[in-house]
Amino acid sequence: METYGKILLIAMPAFLLLVLLEKWYGWRKGNDTVRHMDMISSLSSGITNVTKDVLGISIAIISYEWLVAHVALVQMPTTVWTYVIAFIALDFMGYWSHRLNHVYNLFWNNHIIHHSSEEFNLACALRQSISEFVKLFVIFLLPAALLGVPAKVIAVVAPIQLFAQFWYHTRHINKMGFLENIIVTPSHHRVHHALNKEYIDKNFSQIFIVWDKWFGTFQEELKEVSPVYGITRPVRTWNPVRINFQHVGLLFRDAWYTKKWKDKLRLWMMPTGWRPDDVNERFPVYKIDDPYNMEKYDPPASAGLKAWCWIQLVILLGFISYFFARLAHINQLDHAYIYLYGLFIFVSVYALTELMDRHPYAWAAELVKAGFGAYLLYLQPDWFGLSDWLPMSGYLVGSYLLLSLAGTVVWTSQKVVGNRF
């Protein structure tokens, strides 16, 4: 937990710098692919995901440690080649788990957040799931387990393999020559994120594109077909918490209202997007039929509101950076505190993105955030030892909570005039 938190203290600023650099580069070249609110939503999603990962809020039905202990045919020594084999094994697992997430209704809920942006840029790479509480696909690491690859090697390689998927989420890099035949490139992944009928459910590979070519899911980016990004049933919200549970919420509703017991049961493992005929007729869900004439989600927002949301995001990044830097200290105070702090991060993201959505009751979410923050200050008046670094930290945090609540009340009370409020 503490080790991963320290890794993120280095990774988060690096990713943020690259996201901002892409924004600047696109502006400089007259091809800006990053909208402000979309970027803040993506960064907020990344915050929720890393918080969940650090807290370890998920379980594996079969752990890799158990798998290697029971099926290993040999015990592989830890060498450079061990790490190479582990990397390839993780990429193989990544291909199949990624593909299954796209194929079945239930598993799509774990992945919908990553495709929810209607843009394609480095920021959208940070849209990662918080709804995957049970990890089912460790079984795809069976080849590594049979070879006896140590669990500690997998633990080292896994974050490297994940971070290596960041760079190709961009529209500013064209095709890359012979590398197109070996690794996943931006061109390949633009296809994967597109909702055009020519591209949908293609290119599932994460590092090596060979898996798609071997298993029949490869599609080249076509000059005559410009990718249109997003999903066919758009989420219509900036709130990553809502997005993470939107699809499974629809599944539960359909299972409740459909009249046939057969449909109630089979709904979960049917192809992604399938709905029983009766609920599809009673409760139709908007679906994009013409990608080239789709209207992107973009609630009106003034320059002032955008600036306010950026300030809130920067402060939130400060809260989470302190959390990761002081995990061991907070855990020593009381183990429950790390989960309370994590919950505060989630509530903060929810409140911010409700305001971005222009939800009329965004102030209520902000009120919950302020109340919960006040409760944490009651438990830890110096905000979990922050006074060691910043004098009068408790007063500063309390002042921020009050100002944030007042600002949200003001913004939600403003009326829309044209495209501004």
Q: Where are the domains of the chain?
A: 2-215, 246-293, 303-413
Q: Express each pLDDT in 106-156 by its tens digit.
A: 999 999 999 999 999 999 999 999 988 778 788 889 999 999 999 999 989
How many angstroms separate the CA atoms of 67 and 156, rounded?
17
**What pLDDT score does 164 carry?**
96
**What pLDDT score does 417 carry?**
42
CA-nearest of 228, 76, 222 to 154 is 76
**What pLDDT score does 278 carry?**
96
Helix axes 36-55, 240-257, angle to 10 degrees: 80
Question: Which residues in the chain come in under a pLDDT of 70?
Answer: 1-2, 61, 415-421
Separation of CA 307 from chain center: 23
Residues 384 and 326 sit within 8 Å (Cβ to Cβ): yes
How many angstroms separate the CA atoms of 90 and 93, rounded?
5
Ramachandran category for residue 44: left, alpha or beta (phi over 0 → left; psi -120 to 50 → alpha): alpha
Q: Which tokens in the block code for residue 378?
A: 């009651």
**What pLDDT score does 1 carry?**
58
What is the 3-class SS of 273-321, one letter each residue? CCCCHHHHHHCCCCCCCCHHHCCCCCCCCCHHHHHHHHHHHHHHHHHHH
Burial 272-311 (b: 16+ CB within 10 A, else e): beebbeebeeeeeeeebeebeebeebebebeeebeebbee
**What pLDDT score does 89 carry?**
94
**What pLDDT score does 420 carry?**
44
**What pLDDT score does 284 carry?**
95
DSSP type of residue 220: P
pTM: 0.93
Separation of CA 94 from chain center: 16
**What pLDDT score does 8 carry?**
84
